[in-house]
Chain A
Amino acid sequence: MANLKIGDKAIPFDLPGVDGKDYSIADYAEKSAVVVIFSCNHCPYVRAWEDRMVQIQADYQGEAVQLVAINANDASKYPDDSFPKMKERAREKHFNFPYLHDESQDVARAYGAERTPEVFVFDKSGILCYHGVIDDNYDDPTAVKIRYLQEALDAVLTGKVPPVTETRPVGCTIKWR
């Protein structure tokens, strides 16, 4: 279960990205919303949703929303989740957000993340406003009925409480050491 409750402050992190730079949540202090998504390469749920992640970042770029994906999986057991493979995936899928490597798994543990993908949305004050899934249909983007993440962002950007603040994350378990 997530260690953060709705209303809690974001837990800081400082992690390397696939572009060779390090990223910290403090880098986004000026953003209206920050979306931290625990993700990875191999999980079919992530692979089903990742085009939508890219699209959401593109759609909200002008609104000062920043997505950040974090991979904490143990690459020794799941080699497709290694840092070199992360770089390949980011290139292949044209990730328009940082893709960070939580090799020690400390950040994932601190957040209490359990699944990939698992979404945490923070407002401009760094307060958790939404936690859970991206939308209600991992399998078919054309059959999505409730766009939980987008609805949360629309609310946060107008200073409102999201219509739904928590959903059960759906996806593969994070692969712990």
Chain B
Amino acid sequence: MKMSQIFHIFRKDVRHHWIEILVCQAALVAFCWNEVRGWRERIDFRLDILSTVVGVLLPFTWGFLVFRAVHSETLVGDRQFWITRPYEWKKLLAEKILIVLVFLNLPLLIAGAALLIKAGFSPWPHVLGLLWMQLLLIQLPFLPLMALAAVTRNLAQGLLALLAVVLYMIGMAALDGALTYLGFPSGDADVLQGLAIVIVCVVAIGLQYAQRQTGRSRAWLAAGAVAAVLVMLGNAYYLHGKDKYPLPAIGQLTSFHADLDPVHLSAPKEPPEKDEDVNFAIPLRAWGLTPDSLGRVRGVRITLKTPDGFRWDSDWQGYYSLLSPKENHWRQDFSMKYKIYERLKSAPVKARVSVAVEVFREHDLEVITAGNGEFDVPGVGRCRVRDKDASTLRCHSPLVKPPTMVVVRVDPAASTCTGQDKDQQTREGVPYAWEDGSNSNLPDYGISPVESFQFYFFSAARICPGTPLSFSFPKFTENTRADFDIATLNLDEYRTSSAYGSFVIGVGPRRR
């Protein structure tokens, strides 16, 4: 064959599937348009529906193209004309991969670069990151889509298989939820599961193209699905009984301590509903942090024990809070079944509270003046003040969020806001907002390489053009945990009417 077989088949497929290809590119353009639109301001409800449609449409068009392209030379069955023609399976497979690379990955790569440019970043320093994102997209969903297409005969069969996969994923999520409910920790087995997906899909695709052994290939995929369940169960079993946040080793000095905050809480007068969970909140206080330290609460756990030996464990509850030496009070919410509450409420119980934190030390302070519109923030990306409330800083980072935590402070005295804006700044101290670091330099799964996040000042901080913003990039120093006992805890005193996330108000020590 004078012209390479790969390009010969490729040309045929492009001619045959130009509509699918066009639809894919149109969906990608719509996605990018919506993405850029979302950066500007908070998306309203009407546009939110549009975001959902665009978000669903894009992967659907990918599946449409992959299924149609693979089914052009369908591997299932024994009546296809091409199986008695001099097709070389490796070249046929290479051609299908080329379709994915040229019409899915390449446009996504270009779209990624365009989004970076639109967000004010040059794509050139981020080429490797953009390629990495494409590699992740190949792993999921392009490779599984190809595997499904390879073991199905036509689009209808392919969509049925896809539906089965969606149901399977819902089942997996339900199993994960059930494991958590049963007290098994929800472990992070993404790498193992990701590896299983790649291996299973590659083997199924290889088997189909090399030998057209549909039964075996389908069995492989089914075995992969079972393996993923087993990995989840095995991981849960492995982690069961292991403390998610272990206590510091004996002799290890730690700067973080916690105990019960002796504030008086007013419990609701109405008795709790019998058919609902009962909520209660434990006021907590942290101490021991050095003046330049911050504590990021990762989880709080409470164990209650009655004199007759009955024990209730809340398990670790995640918490969104940043503690500083002066802003060190917070309330942790818990909920329990009404029956358990009934058993625990009547008598004083012993309690053990565990608080797991990450301790950071303030680092790399930098003062940036808020600009009119977007302005550069070294180490973060490009930020702009949200026009509507002047208390939110919206930022974009190329590929990944900053790997370390970022804390922003606004000195009300230095605010350039005038009139009503200025008047709203009534709180004492320096308002601050913060964002967790990504802990990685590698971008995560996604289509857009522009990471969007915002610093929301819970206090009435006002930022206007010219307002100096103090950025800090605290460095992680240690993971630690503080446990303490409460000899007698009357549960009813801590009951709340409803569960709510209580946040530490973002007001820290005034800095000069």
Pair from one complex: no
Task: Give me the interface of A with B, judged by CB distance under 8 Å.
Answer: none
What residues make up the interface of B, taking CB atoms closer than 8 Å to A?
A: none
